[in-house]
Amino acid sequence: MLPIITAQAMSGVIGGYAVAGLERYGYISDGKGVAPEYLVKIISYRNRCAIVGVLQQDIAMRVESRWEYLVPSSLLDVGNKLTQFVSRGKWSIITKATSRRVWQGSSPLQISLNLKFEAVEDPYREVVQPCLLLQSIALPSSVSYDEANTEKFLKKTGITKGSKEFMQGVAGAFLAPPGPAPFTTKGLFTRDNNRSIDDIVKGTQGGDIIKIDIGRFLSFWNVIVKEVSPLFHIKFSESGDPISGSVNIIFESYEMMTVESLKQCYDKNNFSVGKIQGSELNKGIKGKIKTDE
């Protein structure tokens, strides 16, 4: 598990979104506020954190389909050469039918975002920590020693238990991968709207579920982080932390999208919060923003 960077527990809303039970990093209102349509929220459930940044550039998405020739090219090549040789180049076996292709699958959906972070009160919490966490969810971490789970594993395998120090050393030699655990399906395909954070984390079996809300436009459940490129601007606070920065981040859907799962990404009901009353929003955010009706 990645270490959670301590910060004040958040309550209420962020940019119009309820995120009770998560730690908040990144954007806070400077008094004028940014409309929630331009805020991107990235949730890491294993780390129980929500990173909020301001969208800076156009949203880029890409998906590809893979197709192969119906007739294997190696077989077609031999037959075509032989036919042209026999006919002295007058005809071949290449036809429209032989150029038909069969679908071999589609790539995961890729999303590229550019987010901006600017300090209002605390440069470390609002600029440095968001970038640090975004990089961390793309990296492995050392396996922590869990005595209870280790004893269960040893009983199943029949291995004689060694000293605690020895077992800690063994655990520390391995790395825990980032992202979701592929060997369990529990919780991976269920949206979080009606489940507690504890239930979601328990269902990951040690992996992570990463969710992205892009304004009130798109919502992606269970993605993997492919690339994180932070850029810190060379203006620093008295503490030595940069007061602004930007991050280019590339996500991919954990699995191949279907027509139905893609439609869910555009469904307004799949955001991390349902209806929020205007009075509740005004308590958490300064400035005029729209609310869901």
Give the range among 21-25, 36-40, 187-191, 262-266 with minimum mean pLDDT.
187-191
CB 48 within 8 A of CB 224: no
Helix (H, G, I), strand (E, B) or coil at 259: helix
Highest mean pLDDT among 59-68, 97-106, 148-157, 267-276: 59-68
Q: Which residues of 142-152 are buried (b: 16+ CB within 10 A; e: fewer)?
A: ebeeeeeebee
CB 212 within 8 A of CB 42: yes
95 confidence band (pLDDT: 50, 70, 90): confident
Q: In this structure, what are the phi and psi dihedrals at residue 247, rounded to the nearest 5 degrees? A: -135, 130
33-82, pLDDT tens digit by residue? Answer: 789 999 999 999 888 899 999 999 999 999 999 998 888 777 788 888 88
213-230, pLDDT tens digit by residue? Answer: 999 999 998 899 999 999
6 confidence band (pLDDT: 50, 70, 90): very low
β-bridge partners, 111: 61, 251
Give the range among 130-134, 206-210, 227-231, 277-281 with minimum mean pLDDT.
277-281
The pair of three-digit structure tokens given for residue 189, joined into one six-digit string: 């395909």
Separation between Cα atoms, residue 104 and residue 101, nearest integer Å: 9
124-166, pLDDT tens digit by residue? Answer: 999 999 999 999 999 988 766 455 455 555 555 555 555 555 5
Closest-CA residue to 220 (of 262, 275, 274): 262
pLDDT of residue 120: 93
- Indicate the DSSP class of residue 263: H
Separation between Cα atoms, residue 117 and residue 146, nearest integer Å: 36
- The C-alpha angle with vertex 289 and arms to 25 and 209, in degrees rounded to 5, equals 35
- Specify the pTM: 0.73
Separation between Cα atoms, residue 48 and residue 97, nearest integer Å: 54
CB 54 within 8 A of CB 130: no
Residues making up the chain, counted from first to last: 293
- The C-alpha angle with vertex 271 and arms to 266 and 119, in degrees rounded to 5, equals 110
